[in-house]
Amino acid sequence: MGLIEVNGIRVFAYHGCLAEEATIGGLYRVDVQVEGDFEEAERTDILSCTVDYGRVTAIVCEQMAVRSALIEHVARRILVALQGEWDPGFQWRVRLVKERPPIQGDVEQAVYTVFG
């Protein structure tokens, strides 16, 4: 068993419940972890035997480009897209961070994590 992490995928997107967020947008960060059997990749040194970091990043960016009111919804879409791309035996974790959410108070980030 092994664990791959693709952390700190930075994206500018337009998610949020406020109408202004659809216009102004904001900064987001996504961390992806996948746990599974990567023994074949360890033995063979072949990219197709593992999870491609570039493709993970592309999937995150594709899903982040589709506006949603809730980061929970976006995180679930990312998870489902990742699951559809690779081995169903893999266990995924998607952590979506909304930096400086536009709410009253000094809030650094709002975070949602989904597992699957």
| Contacts with 97 (C-beta within 8 Å, 6 or more apart), sequence order | 28, 29, 30, 31, 109, 110, 111
> Is 59 strand, coil or helix?
helix
Round to whole Å and give the CA distance between 45 and 41.
5
| Pair 65, 57: CB distance under 8 Å | no
For residue 98, indicate whether it is catalytic.
yes
Per the residue annotation, which of 75, 92, 98, 114 is the catalytic one?
98
Task: Indicate which residues carry an active-site annotation.
Answer: 98
